[in-house]
């Protein structure tokens, strides 16, 4: 079982067992994780040169643009589901840096709204197959996984990924 799977299972059990208690600290900690990956992905989208958006490490792997489009698309789907109305996007058809930076920003706007609406009272409420918080935790896990893949693109292009760039940290 992967570490991501174990984290999701542990977090789900934690949400269920804390339903009757105040889970604001749990929400706060999870939101800190969300903000961390949000920062890394935003900086990554900006740091990759336009020419790098067509980079494809092997024929079997997505281009950088397709990877970023996938991230933005899944974030809208997961975060809108957490808000009770799953939405689809056209982000997977985007290929330019400008369009994808905008798509990523739009996906974070959706996720920010979902996090703003998450409370102790509604975190454990089910929305389809997951709780409101479960959708958001799934987004964090998936985004971190995809960022891990993305870091390889940076390394292969001779660029330090944002999470390792000590000089560029804000």
pLDDT tens digits for range 28-55: 999 999 999 999 999 999 999 999 999 9
For residue 40, is it within any domain? yes
Spatial neighbors of 104 by CB under 8 A, at least 6 apart, are: 41, 42, 45, 68, 71, 72, 75
- What predicted TM-score, i.e. pTM, was given to this entire model? 0.85
Domain count, the chain: 1
For residue 166, is it within any domain? no
pLDDT range class, residue 2, cuts 50, 70, 90: low
For residue 96, is it within any domain? yes
For residue 161, is it within any domain? no
Q: What is the mean pLDDT of residues 104-121?
A: 97
Owning domain of residue 48 = 3-15+24-156
Distance between CA 48 and CA 51 in Å, rounded? 8
For residue 112, is it within any domain? yes
* CATH number (domain holding residue 51): 1.20.120.450
For residue 168, is it within any domain? no
Assigned token pair, 154: 């940076």
For residue 170, is it within any domain? no
For residue 136, is it within any domain? yes
Distance between CA 142 and CA 160 in Å, rounded? 21
Assigned token pair, 151: 């870091």
Residue 65 in this model has a pLDDT that exceeds 50: yes
């Amino acid at each position: 079982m992967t570490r991501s799977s174990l984290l999701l299972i542990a977090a789900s059990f934690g949400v269920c067992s804390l339903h009757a208690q105040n889970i604001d600290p749990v929400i706060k900690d999870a939101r800190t994780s969300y903000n961390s990956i949000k920062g890394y992905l935003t900086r990554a989208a900006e740091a990759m040169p336009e020419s790098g958006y067509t980079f494809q490490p092997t024929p079997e792997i997505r281009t950088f643009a397709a990877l970023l489009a996938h991230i933005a698309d899944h974030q809208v789907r997961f975060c809108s589901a957490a808000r009770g109305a799953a939405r689809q996007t056209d982000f997977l058809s985007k290929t330019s840096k400008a369009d994808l930076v905008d798509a990523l920003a739009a996906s974070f706007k959706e996720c920010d709204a979902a996090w703003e609406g998450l409370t102790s009272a509604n975190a454990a409420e089910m929305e389809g197959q997951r709780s409101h918080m479960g959708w958001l935790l799934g987004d964090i896990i998936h985004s971190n996984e995809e960022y891990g893949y993305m870091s390889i693109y940076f390394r292969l292009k001779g660029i330090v990924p944002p999470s390792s760039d000590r000089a560029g940290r804000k």
